[in-house]
C-alpha cells in the first residue's frame, strides 16, 4: 500500500479535500526519492524555493520509503513553499530507490520531470538549466554529468567511493556502448526527462541507478548533457553499501540479458560453470568407492543444483514469482537430466541416419539439447509473471494538510 499527501502552500484544515482542489502541476515536476532524509528536507526545499520558482513554475513530488519521521518533516516544511509538494509514502519499497523514481514518474503531471536526490548533493539551482538545455537541443533526456567540462565529483567522500563510481561507469559503458553513447555519466542520479519520452510501465528497476534503467530500456533518441558539481551531503550518511553494490550487479545482468540471444549466451556460460561441482562430486564419490555410473548420476545433480542457483539469482530473478521454489527446482532438474537421456538417441540418429562421424554428431547433439533445454527452461520454469493487479492503483485519495 502507498499513501498520497499533497501539501498546498499556506493552506491548513480539513484533510478530506477533493482531488479537484489540488493545484494544477507546474512546468516541471521535481521527483525526489527519500529514505530517512529528515535532516535534509528543510534545506532541500529552501534551496528549491530560492532557485527554481522564480525562473520556472514547479511542483515537488517526494516518493518516500522512510522508517523515520521524514514524511512529517516534509509536511511541516512544505507549508512555507510557494509551490505544491506531494508525498507518496510506500509501505513496501519495491525496486528500491529506482522503484521510487518510477512511482514518481507515474505521478508527475508536467511536461518535464527532474529526478534528484534528497541529500542536497544535487544543486536545485541547476533545474532550470536542465530544462533550458533540453528545449534548446529538442532532447528527451538531459543528464547532469560530473564528467564533462565544468563538472566535478568533488562531493564523493573518499578514494574508495570515487574508485567505485569510476569502475561502475566504465563497466556500464563497456556493457552498453550503443545505448550509452553520448552519456558520460550513466551513474548520475540527477537528470531531466520529457514525460512523453518514457513509458514507466516498461521499467523494472533494481536498486538506485534509475538513469541506467531509463537509458537502456527506453532511451530517448536525443540526449544532451549539462555539467554539474557534485556537492557535499548536507546531513546524514550515504545509503551506498555492499548490498546495494550487489543489487547493482544483478541489475546489470538483468539489463544485459533482456534479449533472448543474450539470455541464451548467459545460460550457456552458467551451464559451463556447472562442470566444476560435477567433476568435484564425481571425484569425491569414486574416491569413496561408489561405482562410476551412480557416481556420475549423483554428481550431475550437484551441477544441476549449482546451475539452478545461478539461473535463479542472475538470469531469471524477476520471473520467480510465477511458481513456487520447489516447483521451479523440480522442473529445472527434470529438464537438465532429460538432456542426458535425449543426447544419446540424438547422437545415434545423426550417426546412423545422416552418416555423421561420432565427434561431429556429439557436438551437434550438445548444441541441439542445449537450445532445447534453454527454451524449455524459459517456457516451462520461468514463464513471465503476469500480475492480476496490473493496472490497478494502490494509492489512497489525496489529502491536504
Q: Are residues 202 and 331 in the same domain?
A: no
Phi/psi of residue 63, each to 5°? -110, 110
- Among 239, 269, 289, identify where a domain stops: 239
Does the pLDDT value for residue 240 go beyond 60?
A: no
d(CA 201, CA 215): 15
pLDDT, averaged across the chain: 78
Q: Which residues of 344-367 are buried (b: 16+ CB within 10 A; e: fewer)?
A: eebbeebbeeeebeeeebbebbee
pLDDT tens digits for range 23-40:
344 589 999 998 888 888
Q: What is the pLDDT at residue 224?
A: 92
Region 268-278 average pLDDT: 83
Residue 355 lies inside a defined structural domain of this protein: yes
Region 219-237 average pLDDT: 78
Mention every residue, 6+ apart, whose C-beta is less than 8 A from residue 178: none
Residue 244 lies inside a defined structural domain of this protein: no
**CB-CB contact of 67 with 36 (8 Å):** yes
Q: What is the pLDDT at residue 108?
A: 85
Q: What is the pLDDT at residue 363?
A: 77
Q: Are residues 163 and 68 in the same domain?
A: yes
Q: To 10 degrees, what angle do helices 292-310 and 325-352 make? A: 120
Q: Are residues 291 and 207 in the same domain?
A: no
Evaluated on CA atoms 201, 204, 205, 210, the torsion sign reads negative
- Assign 349 a pLDDT band (cuts: 50, 70, 90): confident
Residue 399 lies inside a defined structural domain of this protein: no
Phi/psi of residue 379, each to 5°? -80, -40
How many other CB atoms are there within 10 angstroms of residue 100's CB atom?
A: 27
How would you class 122 by CB atoms within 10 Å of its CB: exposed for 0-12, middle for 13-18, buried for 19 or more? buried
Q: Are residues 285 and 347 in the same domain?
A: yes
Region 43-54 average pLDDT: 90
Does the pLDDT value for residue 66 go beyond 80?
A: yes
Does the pLDDT value for residue 192 go beyond 90?
A: yes
- Assign 202 a pLDDT band (cuts: 50, 70, 90): low
Q: Are residues 212 and 125 in the same domain?
A: yes
- Assign 74 a pLDDT band (cuts: 50, 70, 90): very high
- Among 239, 274, 305, identify where a domain stops: 239
- List beta partners, residue 33: 63
Of the listed ranges 67-71, 318-322, 352-356, 394-398, the one predicted with least confidence: 394-398
Three-state DSSP string of the chain = CEEEEEECCCCCCCCCCCHHHCCCCCCEEEEEEECCCHHHHHHHHHHHHHHCCCCCCEEEEEEECCCCCHHHHHHHHHHHCCCCEEEEEECCCCCHHHHHHHHHHHHCCCCEEEECCCCCCCCHHHHHHHHHHHHHHCCCEEEEECCCCCCECCCCCHHHHHHHHHHHHHHHHHHCCCCCCCCCCCCCCCEEEEHHHCCHHHCCCCCCCHHHHHHHHHCCCCEEEEECECCCCCCCCCCCCHHHHHHHHHHHHHHHCCCHHHHHHHHHHHHHHCHHHHHHHHHHHHHCCCCHHHHHHHHHHHHHHHHHHHHHHHHCHHHHHHCCHHHHHHHHHHHHHHHHHHHHHHHHHHHHCCCCCHHHHHHHHHHHHHHHHHHHHHHHHCCCCCCCCCCCCCECCCCEC
Residue 390 lies inside a defined structural domain of this protein: no
Of the listed ranges 102-106, 128-132, 253-257, the one predicted with least confidence: 253-257
**Nearest-CA neighbor of 4 among 69, 81, 62?**
62
Residue 303 lies inside a defined structural domain of this protein: yes
Region 219-244 average pLDDT: 73
More confident residue, 10 or 172: 172
Region 295-322 average pLDDT: 82
Q: What is the pLDDT at residue 112?
A: 93
Residue 248 lies inside a defined structural domain of this protein: no
Torsion of CA 147, 151, 156, 159, to 10 degrees: 60
Q: Are residues 133 and 48 in the same domain?
A: yes
Does the pLDDT value for residue 46 go beyond 90?
A: yes
Residue 319 lies inside a defined structural domain of this protein: yes
**CB-CB contact of 31 with 104 (8 Å):** yes
Q: 0.75 exceeded by the pTM?
A: no
Does the pLDDT value for residue 318 go beyond 80?
A: no
Q: Are residues 165 and 292 in the same domain?
A: no
Residues of the domain holding 327:
260-381
More confident residue, 50 or 384: 50
Phi/psi of residue 357, each to 5°? -70, 160
The count of domains in the chain is 2
Region 56-68 average pLDDT: 90
Of the listed ranges 26-40, 303-317, 376-390, the one predicted with least confidence: 376-390
d(CA 45, CA 78): 7
Q: What is the CATH number of the domain that holds 69?
A: 3.90.550.10
Q: Are residues 293 and 190 in the same domain?
A: no
Cα-trace Rg, the chain:
26
- Assign 262 a pLDDT band (cuts: 50, 70, 90): confident
Q: Are residues 216 and 279 in the same domain?
A: no
Q: Are residues 224 and 316 in the same domain?
A: no
pLDDT tens digits for range 121-170:
899 999 999 999 999 999 989 999 988 888 877 665 556 566 767 777 77
- Among 206, 239, 272, identify where a domain stops: 239
- Assign 241 a pLDDT band (cuts: 50, 70, 90): low
Q: Are residues 186 and 281 in the same domain?
A: no
Does the pLDDT value for residue 44 go beyond 90?
A: yes
d(CA 131, CA 51): 13
Residue 57 lies inside a defined structural domain of this protein: yes
Q: What is the pLDDT at residue 29?
A: 93
Q: Are residues 339 and 234 in the same domain?
A: no
- Assign 67 a pLDDT band (cuts: 50, 70, 90): confident
Amino acid at each position: 500500500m502507498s499513501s498520497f499527501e499533497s501539501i498546498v502552500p499556506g493552506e491548513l484544515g480539513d484533510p478530506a479535500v477533493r482531488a479537484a482542489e489540488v493545484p494544477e502541476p507546474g512546468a516541471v515536476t521535481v521527483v525526489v526519492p527519500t529514505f530517512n532524509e529528515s535532516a535534509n528536507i528543510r534545506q532541500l526545499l529552501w534551496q528549491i524555493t530560492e532557485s527554481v520558482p522564480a525562473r520556472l513554475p514547479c511542483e515537488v513530488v517526494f516518493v518516500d520509503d522512510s522508517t523515520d519521521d521524514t514524511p512529517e518533516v516534509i509536511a511541516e516544511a512544505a507549508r512555507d513553499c510557494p509551490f505544491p509538494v506531494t508525498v507518496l509514502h510506500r509501505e513496501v519499497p519495491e525496486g528500491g530507490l529506482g522503484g521510487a523514481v518510477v512511482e514518481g514518474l507515474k505521478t508527475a503531471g508536467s511536461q518535464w520531470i527532474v529526478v534528484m536526490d534528497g541529500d542536497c548533493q544535487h544543486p536545485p539551482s541547476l533545474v532550470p538549466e536542465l530544462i533550458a538545455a533540453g528545449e534548446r537541443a529538442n532532447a528527451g533526456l538531459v543528464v547532469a554529468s560530473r564528467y564533462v567540462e565544468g563538472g566535478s565529483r568533488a562531493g564523493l567522500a573518499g578514494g574508495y567511493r570515487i574508485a567505485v563510481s569510476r569502475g561502475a561507469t566504465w563497466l556500464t559503458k563497456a556493457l552498453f556502448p550503443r545505448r550509452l553513447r553520448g552519456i558520460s555519466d550513466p551513474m548520475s542520479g540527477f537528470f531531466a526527462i520529457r514525460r512523453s519520452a518514457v513509458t514507466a510501465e516498461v521499467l523494472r528497476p533494481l536498486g538506485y541507478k534509475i538513469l541506467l534503467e531509463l537509458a537502456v530500456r527506453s532511451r530517448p533518441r536525443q540526449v544532451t548533457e549539462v555539467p554539474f558539481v557534485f556537492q557535499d551531503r548536507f546531513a546524514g550518511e550515504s545509503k551506498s553499501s555492499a548490498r546495494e553494490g550487489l543489487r547493482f550487479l544483478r541489475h546489470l545482468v538483468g539489463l544485459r540479458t533482456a534479449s533472448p540471444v543474450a539470455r541464451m549466451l548467459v545460460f550457456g556460460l552458467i551451464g559451463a560453470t556447472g562442470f566444476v561441482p560435477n567433476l568435484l562430486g564425481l571425484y569425491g564419490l569414486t574416491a569413496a568407492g561408489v561405482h562410476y555410473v551412480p557416481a556420475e548420476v549423483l554428481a550431475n545433480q550437484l551441477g544441476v543444483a549449482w546451475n539452478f542457483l545461478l539461473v535463479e539469482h542472475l538470469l531469471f530473478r524477476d520471473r520467480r514469482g510465477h511458481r513456487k521454489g520447489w516447483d521451479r527446482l523440480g522442473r529445472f532438474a527434470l529438464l537438465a537430466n532429460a538432456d542426458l537421456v535425449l543426447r544419446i538417441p540424438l547422437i545415434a540418429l545423426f550417426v546412423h541416419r545422416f552418416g555423421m562421424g561420432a565427434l561431429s554428431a556429439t557436438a551437434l547433439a550438445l548444441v541441439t539439447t542445449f537450445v532445447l533445454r534453454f527454451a524449455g527452461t524459459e517456457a516451462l520454469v520461468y514463464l513471465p509473471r503476469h500480475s492480476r493487479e496490473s493496472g490497478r492503483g494502490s494509492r489512497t485519495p489525496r489529502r491536504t494538510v
